Amino acid sequence: MTHYDADVVIIGSGALGANAAYQLAKAGKSVIMLEAGPYIPRWKVVDNYRNSASKRNWCAPYPNLPWAPNSYSEGYIDAQGDDDFHYVTSFLKVAGGSTRHWASACWRLLPNDFKLKSVYGVGRDWPIAYEDLEPWYLRAEHEVGVVGTAEEDQSGQGRDAWPPRSAPYPLPPEAKPYMVQRMQAKLGPLGYQVIHEPHARVSRPWDGRPACAGNNNCEPVCPIGAMYSGDMHVDKAVALGVDLRTESVAWKLEKGPKNRIVAVHYRKPDGRDVRLSAKAFVVAAHGLESPKLLLMSDVANSSDQVGRNLMDHTGLSMTFLADEPLWTGRGSVQHGSIVTRRDEPSRAHHSAIRYALRNLVPNSDVTPALLKQGLAGRELDAAIRDRASRIMNISTMSETLPSPTNRVIPHPTRRDGAGLPTLLVNYQLDSYIRGMRPQACHDFANFLMAFNGEMVEAPTGWRNQYHIMGTTIMGDNPRDSVVDAHCRSWDHANLFIASTGVMPTSATVNPTLTGIALALRLADTLIQEL
């Protein structure tokens, strides 16, 4: 009988990997979970944040090590593309992954988001429907503690509650900030529906977490642990016996007979390599790093689609001063959203749009310019208060389509501190995304008019939202997709991918909840098979 080091080895300890690990451990499976970075407790991140000069740098309070560099390491991501857009993304390499510094929006996709090709004639369809994933959406919402209302039309099309739910959200909505009340009061009559944004900053004590107290510090770290982050499931998984191995950088998946994956090789900071065998492997190493590992290992790529179809919610952002005090910064960093453009017929021609309302304490945004103007004393203080009370930022979450030429590959020449390839990204904006600009400008003009706004930063440049999808794309055809409907590699029956990279459509919402739902479903598949 073959000896295995574990039933399952999971590569990556982010929210997706850790949720899969927890379910497998609960079912009695032995699990080893590899993590490139270290484990850092919440209190230490808070301490680092409070002592950092770069408080708007959401990677800064987290470790950034030569063998586990994050997205902001000099030269780690070599991004190539358009002259008018520089690809930037933001991820961490620590136990718990990049949800350590997210803001925790927990949207479900809409039924139409699963069948973009069938309904609108563009992009791709998923091999599963919304209804297939619904039970796992609900489970994911319970795992992370999602706050929401089941009474609103999240598609923004003026119908009753949508999408359909088999049960209410686990937690009721938080209070609506005054700023959001003003947005709704002024933009509603212009046709823009402001609704609640579901999220994982619990509104009541939940699962050992305190209720959100509006510290306005979701990014880069919730100081009180009211907001969900992946380390919570890392801790739960470890408590059930999962063997978490930090500072262990997976660099090769080893193929064996019958196209099965027989082992993973990982490297320690001192250069030592370790080989682990298992019955099954789950790659959950982040939407850019997972395809890199597959390509470095020359596995799972008979379709030639690994690393391709990279998507984000690349869009536009406008900052203005309203003619009345709105006082962003009371509550969490985001509440509410404008969803009217989320599922319109124009999706056949250009990106759908969802508008995000920024709710940061803005003092560090408004003060530098006032100092540069030479204001001082009472004039300066009064100007800070005035600007801080009136500044507002609204940005688009715009749908991008999967394009094979938008891709990530292991860098041909650059190496990180472990001697492993860094990332080379090519990302260009096509006519589908660029085509939404007139509609966005139309809407931005209405937003500006509603508040008789004074422009601070016009929506003229493109920016990413750091939501990575498509790079290990799911489909029903092994010739043009990487995994099947169960997140299983078409090429290797015991290799699974837990990543938002499997998503064939990007829609207009933060993809993490969908990723967790898929990871829970994947874990169920493995539990049945092992």
Q: Considering the complex, what minimum distance in angstroms separates the CB of residue 79 from other proteins?
A: 11
Site for other proteins in 263-302 (CB under 8 A): none
CB of 415 to other proteins, least distance (A): 17
Listed ranges 1-9, 428-436, 448-456, 480-488: which one lies at the site for other proteins (CB under 8 A): 448-456
C-alpha 338/C-alpha 33 separation (Å) is 39
Stretch 214-233 residues interacting with other proteins (CB under 8 A): 214-217, 223-224
Task: Scan for tokens 């499976």, then name that residue.
Answer: 29
When the beta carbons of 137 and 447 are compared against other proteins, the nearer one is: 447
Report the nearest approach of other proteins to the CB of residue 496 (Å): 32
The distance of closest approach from Cβ of residue 163 to other proteins in the complex, given in angstroms and rounded to an integer, is 15
Question: Binding residue for other proteins (CB under 8 A) from 22, 130, 192, 490?
Answer: 192
Catalytic residue among 286, 350, 467, 492: 467
Stretch that binds other proteins, among 128-136, 241-249, 458-466, 505-513 (CB under 8 A): 458-466
467 catalytic? Reply is yes
Give 42-49 contacts, CB < 8 A, sequence gap 24+.
Answer: 42/221, 42/222, 42/223, 42/225, 42/231, 45/100, 45/220, 45/221, 46/221, 46/223, 49/217, 49/220, 49/221
> CB of 342 within 8 A of CB of 359?
no
**CB-CB contact of 281 with 495 (8 Å):** yes
Nearest to 518 by CA among 254, 137, 79, 141: 137
Q: Does residue 51 bind other proteins (CB under 8 A)?
A: yes
Q: Which of the stretches 112-120, 362-370, 395-403, 477-485 binds other proteins when contact is defined by CB under 8 A? A: 362-370
If one asks whether residue 246 binds other proteins (CB under 8 A), the answer comes out as no
Instruction: Kindly write out the interface string for residues 465-504 of this chain, putting x where it contacts other proteins by CB under 8 A and - elsewhere.
Output: ----------------------------------------
- HEC string for 315-370: ECEEEEECCCCCCCCCCCCEEEEECCCCCCHHHHCCCCEEEEEECCCCHHHHHHHH
* Helix ranges (DSSP H) in 33-188: 42-50, 116-120, 130-144, 178-187
97 or 329: CB nearest other proteins = 329
Per-residue interface string for the shown chain with other proteins, residues 369-388, x marking contact by CB under 8 A: --xx-xxxxxxxxx-xxx-x
**For residues 306-335, which are near other proteins according to CB under 8 A?**
318, 324-325, 327, 329-331, 335
Q: How far apart are CA 378 and CA 384, in angstroms?
A: 10
Nearer to other proteins, 193 or 314 (CB): 193
Q: Name which of 298 and 324 has its Cβ closer to other proteins.
A: 324
DSSP-assigned letter for residue 258: G
**Nearest distance, CB of residue 306 and other proteins, angstroms:** 26
Q: Binding residues for other proteins, how many (CB under 8 A)?
A: 100
Instruction: Tell which positions 11-50 bind other proteins, by CB under 8 A.
Output: 46, 49-50
**Peptide bond just before 66 cis, omega within 30 deg:** no
> Minimum CB separation from other proteins for residue 289, in Å?
17
Nearest to 310 by CA among 502, 514, 447: 502
Provide, rounded to whole angstroms, the least separation between the CB of residue 70 and other proteins. 7
Comparing CB distances to other proteins, the nearer of 258 and 378 is 378
CB 237 within 8 A of CB 15: no
Helix (H) or strand (E) holding 389: helix 377-390
Residues 61-80 that bind other proteins (CB under 8 A): 64, 70, 72-74
Q: Which of 26, 129, 298, 363 touches other proteins by CB under 8 A? A: 363
Q: 79 to 118, contacts with other proteins by CB under 8 A?
A: 88, 90
Does 208 contact other proteins by CB under 8 A? no
Three-state secondary-structure class, residue 23: helix
| Cβ(59)–Cβ(37) below 8 Å | no
Structure tokens at 380: 């300066």
Among 193, 309, 334, 471, binds other proteins (CB under 8 A): 193
Is it true that the peptide bond before 223 is cis, omega within 30 degrees of 0?
no
Name which of 197, 202, 201, 203 is nearest 183 in CA terms. 197
How far apart (Å, rounded) are the C-alpha atoms in residues 233 and 200? 14
Nearer to other proteins, 79 or 240 (CB): 79
- In the bound state with other proteins, the residue whose beta carbon lies nearer, of 128 and 380, is 380
Contacts of 406 (CB under 8 A, 6+ apart): 308, 309, 310, 311, 426, 427, 428, 470
x/- map, 150-189, other proteins, by CB under 8 A? xxx-----x--------------xxxxxx--xx-xx-xxx
Smaller CB distance to other proteins: residue 19 or 328?
Answer: 328
Q: Kind and range of the H or E element at 275?
A: strand 273-283
Show the beta-strand stretches assigned E in 114-270.
Answer: 194-195, 243-245, 249-255, 261-267
* Residues known to be catalytic: 467
